[in-house]
Amino acid sequence: MRIYQLVQNIRSGYRPNLDEIEELLRAEGPELSHIFQAADEINRQYNGNLVHIRGIIEFSNYCRARCAYCGLNAENRELKRYRMEPDEIIEVAKEAVDAGYRTIVLQSGEDLWYTREKISYIIRRIKALGDVAITLSVGERDFEDYRKWREDGADRFLLKHETINPKIYKSLHPHSTLRNRILCLKKLKELGYQTGSGFMIGLPGQTLRDIARDILFLNNLKVDMAGIGPFIPHRGTVLKDAPAGSSEITLKTVAVSRLILKTTHLPATTALRTIDGTGAERAFRAGANVIMLKLEPYKYRRLYEIYPKPLGPEKSIREEREEMVRFLQSIGKEVAQDRGDSLRLTERQ
């Protein structure tokens, strides 16, 4: 009974504490089904029956960082590295906008070859293509870079915190600190970015208590987006023999996050779709409302391997989007036609 009452209270505006979030994460059987159903209903209440399709250009796989879980880490000497030229990135963005995308996510490793000026140039040229939102996902940079790119028109920024457990964070990120990551997130918010963060499920040493803390952190930060996906081991990392995160716990975490975060955009992450063939559909029934499709040419996609994943046959940007539209319609979802800005934006105004 307790879980049902707790879900009801959260729906009425109650902010659960750490113990209660952990309790939700431990639910099984009919109680878990109830959480999934409530998450779906809350999503429909706040976000409608809509899914936002975002296009992502992974424009460089060079990275100065050494994240222990990532195939792009600077110490992986086996990986062939690539960089897309700024004009090549803009060309791909143009094709995507012509195909109907209203959000372009620009993602790379932490690659300082892309100076403040180069990224500014890319942002300005893409913004000139029409009413299109730009999300940056380029890691920890100088705050002046963040400021300039916001002035140039970048709308959103994704920077996952990965785990709020300081010990685990330290063991996975020998090159940086959790403190700095949080500072970056706060700065991005202060600069007016729609700010996204997120974390992994199944990191070595992680407990359900940690996951509850991750959800609470996202809620306190009032994030506009949150990516929650399973850890998947990569052969080129020190964690190559660690077990992958569970899709069941990931889905449960997405649902509990939806209960608590309400309007925050939650993607059906690529990592979840990689370990679970039905992951997208299940995530959309558990409160997710966003999906990201890759846009860069296939010769680069093969090399942007944070974790191993299948690529499938080559298709055009337009074909892939149309295929996703058909899939979403087949599971009873509608495809959003607007930019899909954060619903928290109106709260802030």
Interface ranges with ligand SF4 (CB under 6 A): 63, 65, 67, 70, 72-73, 109-110, 139, 306
Region at 276 (left for phi over 0; alpha for psi -120 to 50; beta for the rest)? beta
The residue (of 46 and 143) whose beta carbon lies closer to ligand SF4 is 143
Minimum Å gap between C-beta 61 and ligand SF4 is 8
Minimum Å gap between C-beta 63 and ligand SF4 is 3
In total, the chain counts a number of residues equal to: 349
The residue (of 38 and 70) whose beta carbon lies closer to ligand SF4 is 70
Minimum Å gap between C-beta 56 and ligand SF4 is 13
Minimum Å gap between C-beta 124 and ligand SF4 is 25
The residue (of 163 and 219) whose beta carbon lies closer to ligand SF4 is 163
The residue (of 46 and 62) whose beta carbon lies closer to ligand SF4 is 62
The residue (of 63 and 255) whose beta carbon lies closer to ligand SF4 is 63
Minimum Å gap between C-beta 74 and ligand SF4 is 7
The residue (of 26 and 235) whose beta carbon lies closer to ligand SF4 is 235
Minimum Å gap between C-beta 36 and ligand SF4 is 30
The residue (of 67 and 266) whose beta carbon lies closer to ligand SF4 is 67
User: Are 163 and 198 a contacting pair, CB within 8 Å?
Assistant: no
Minimum Å gap between C-beta 135 and ligand SF4 is 15
